[in-house]
Amino acid sequence: MLVPIKWMKQYVEINTDDKTLADKLTLTGSHVDAVIDYEKKVTNVVTGKILEIEKHPNADKLIVTQIDINKDEPVQIITGAKNVNVGDVVPVCLEGAELPNGLKIKKSNFRGLPSYGMMCSYEELGFDDKVIPKEARDGIAILPPDTELGKDIKDVLELDGSALEVEVTFNRPDCLNIVGMARETAATLGTKFKFPEIEIKNEQGDIKEYLNGVEIEDEDLCSRFYAKVIKDIKIGPSPLWMQRTLMDAGMRPINNIVDVTNFVMLELGQPLHAYNLEALSGRKLIARRAKQDEKIVTIDQNERSLSDRMLVIADSEKPACIAGVMGGYYSEINDDTKIMVLESANFNPKSIRETSKKLGMRSEASARNEKPMGYVMVELANKRACQLIEMIGAGTVVGGYLEAGRSEYEAPVVTLRPHRVPWLLGVDIPVDDMLKYLNLLEIESTFDGEKIISKIPYFRTDIEQEADLIEEVGRLYVFENIESAPLLGSTRVGRKSDKRNLEDYIKTILCGIGLYEITTYSFISPKSYDNICVSSDSPLRNYVRILNPLGEDFSSMRTTLVPNMMEVISRNSNRGVDNAKLFEIGSIFIPKEQPVVNEPHEKIKLCIGMYGNYDFFDLKGIIEAVLSRLGIKVSLKPVTDNPSFHPGRTAAMYVNDDLLGIYGEMSMEAAGNYGIDHKVYAAEIDIEKLLEHKDTNWKYEPLPKYPAMVRDIAVIVKDEILAGEMIETIEAVNPHLIESVELFDVYKGEHVREGYKSTAFSVTYRNKERTLTEKEIESIHKKILEQLERKYEAKLRM
């Protein structure tokens, strides 16, 4: 932001040179990037009034002018400019004049007639093209008609002074204006600050005779709306002092009304907007959400399509302005405007920022409205603009105002404990100095013996807590005055959490078995749940929706890792990779509520995927290898109601009644959705459950001294009887003597009737104290058969 020092001096006493001022402001937190010198090297250029204009007798494109420069005789100047008329007051370069571009003026001869100088433009006087009034961009600079003649142009246009180029941080919108920077300057230099005196001297009539009301329909997007009416509008150029002030601040003068609103925005930081009252249907203004796909033609004459997340200022029929961003074309001030409404409002910064970005429209007004600003300034800025309009004779202010929303300001109170200052700043500062610094910043502060009590002014929306006050004290004390010191604190050895260590251990196990690790995005397409055939009422469809996704394929946060695994398998399979064993350890996200308000639960899952020369038991073996290394023993239950998996080749793993995960063959439909025409096996396991149940406190025993004895047993049971349950039953017969039980055969076919199967187990017996006898084994074996018959109606296969 450009801060003309000459303008700032109207509100604060500056008793130092520009360079020192810039350095001091930087040291107290207002970063000054540069000091810009506005001094123009112009000599022997004066003001003159055109008395006569005649065509050049020997040149069609030239004219001969006689110009009064307040000397005995007028000066003859020949020019080709098209924008000059008799009576215009213009800058006149006399013989010997020198301009900023290095041009030196001398007497010239044009087709037989002498010219004793030239009239010049703003560009030739050294002004940047972007701040020159449009009507003067391609021609001679036209000065106000009451300009004194023969006066040095440097005095008339004030071609001197300097400006500070200041980088204002997002949290300090109070500094995005001249008054705010003057306030900072006063606190930095310890001088007095003076707020502009605002007084409207001649209000006429009653606003209710002209405007039927203002309303706020969506207070979450607009907290305050304030309006005044100005009649008898006379559109024209603003006074030269105002034009020059705006130009020094980097803005182009437009006309008196627009210039006033821009002047106040730069002066006080509050954007304003003027409407042609006679163009407003119903003569009222309403702050409301736009309707979805509602249209408005903005002042740049482009049609914009709006969404219902955007705020507009509308009349009783249609939008008149995109709130805080850009005005509407049909309601803008034009040369025929006679009565206008001046609006100032306090908008939701987030809404303005999103609207500006969505529409690709950014302006000085939107840059301010998208930052948190106090709603008190709404009224002050509006009245200041009315004061200036009255002062420059651009209109008559109508008495009264209309407003909606909050207006009374109750200053928040923040306390500061002085003993906390050394902890955060590393330096002792006397309480009296703290009070002095805070009060210099207009933060009204007192000390009650224990703490400093501060009332936060309306313009400091960034101060919310004790640390903010300490920062204010520190920056006026000047951080550079705080001596550097080593950091204090105890040194601790960092380590990974148990969960991270478990993840690393599982990765080591799986990589050792021959699996490859993959990493995928946490964002997936909502269609992914359809691809793996998730049922419509499944909890997996309760996902977090992304408000601003990169695209539809990244618009939801995953609740399962399986879709990502299937996509990787599909990609590899389609590129000629015949076999693959893959795994991923990653996060899933479960929302706590819908719509999402709080952060979702984040859980870590292990997903394994295989295809090619592998089967169900290969996957089962991998999982058992992991579980055995973690000391976890699970029971298996068949899964028949999960549409993502094959109903006859899928198992769920439990520790007691706690579900650890699921593994099995993917359903043909799910595989087909990914263009896979062969069997795919997958597993998804909860890492946090593994951590909860793992037991790696290994107990070591000496090798057995006595031999084991092995007996096989084959029984016929119904198809639905699970081998795992039968193994648990066998082990429970005599846990001390039955060392292990292994399933080694399942047979269905000849000699086994329909609906039944033959299941064969190998039972290993051992006594650690002595050698078992045949009789003892036969007794236990007999009990095993009895238990299997009793619980499962098992029959010994002969």
Over residues 635-679, the pLDDT tens digits come to 888 999 999 999 989 999 999 889 999 999 999 999 999 999 999
Domain 498-693 sits in which CATH superfamily?
Answer: Bira Bifunctional Protein; Domain 2 (3.30.930.10)
Judged against a pLDDT cut of 80, whether residue 349 lies above it is answered with yes
Domain boundaries, the chain: 2-38+161-189, 43-156, 207-405, 413-481, 498-693, 709-796
Cβ atoms of 662 and 639 within 8 Å: the answer is yes
Higher pLDDT, 480 or 786: 786
What is the pLDDT at residue 187? 94
Cβ atoms of 644 and 637 within 8 Å: the answer is no
> Any bridge partners for residue 759, and if so which?
715, 746
Using a pLDDT cut of 70, give the percent of the chain over it.
100
Residues forming the annotated binding site?
462, 468, 471-472
What is the pLDDT at residue 453? 96
Plot region of 664 (φ>0 → left; ψ -120 to 50 → alpha; else → beta) = left
Judged against a pLDDT cut of 80, whether residue 26 lies above it is answered with yes
CATH no. for 207-405: 3.50.40.10
CATH no. for 413-481: 3.30.56.10
Q: From CA 145, how far away is CA 127, in angstroms rounded?
A: 21
**pTM higher than 0.75, yes or no?**
no
What is the pLDDT at residue 598? 85
Judged against a pLDDT cut of 80, whether residue 798 lies above it is answered with no
Alpha helices in 92-201 (DSSP H): 153-156, 178-189
**Chain segment 98-152, per-residue pLDDT in tens:** 999 889 999 989 988 999 999 999 999 999 889 998 888 778 999 999 999 999 9
What's the chain's average pLDDT? 92
Q: Confirm whether 498-693 and 709-796 share one CATH topology.
A: no
Judged against a pLDDT cut of 80, whether residue 485 lies above it is answered with no
Tokens representing 45? 């250029």
CATH no. for 709-796: 3.30.70.380
Residues forming the annotated binding site for Mg(2+)?
462, 468, 471-472
Between the alpha carbon of residue 236 and those of residues 119, 249, 333, 580, the distances in Å are 23, 21, 12, 78
- Arithmetic mean of pLDDT, 171-198: 94
- Arithmetic mean of pLDDT, 773-793: 91
What is the pLDDT at residue 486? 77
Judged against a pLDDT cut of 90, whether residue 330 lies above it is answered with yes
Q: From CA 85, how far away is CA 65, in angstroms rounded?
A: 10
**Chain segment 572-592, per-residue pLDDT in tens:** 999 999 999 999 999 999 998
What is the pLDDT at residue 435? 96
Judged against a pLDDT cut of 90, whether residue 447 lies above it is answered with yes
What is the pLDDT at residue 165? 95
93-117 exposure pattern, b = at least 16 Cβ within 10 A, e = fewer: bbeebebeeeeebeeeebeeeebbb
**Chain segment 509-549, per-residue pLDDT in tens:** 999 999 999 999 999 999 999 999 999 889 999 999 988 88
CATH of 43-156, one of 1.10.10.10, 3.30.360.10, 1.10.357.10, 2.40.50.140: 2.40.50.140
Residue 285 CB burial class (10 angstroms; 0-12, 13-18, ≥19): buried
Architecture in CATH for domain 2-38+161-189? 2-Layer Sandwich (3.30)
Cβ atoms of 239 and 392 within 8 Å: the answer is yes
**Chain segment 37-83, per-residue pLDDT in tens:** 988 889 999 999 999 999 999 988 899 999 999 998 999 999 998 88
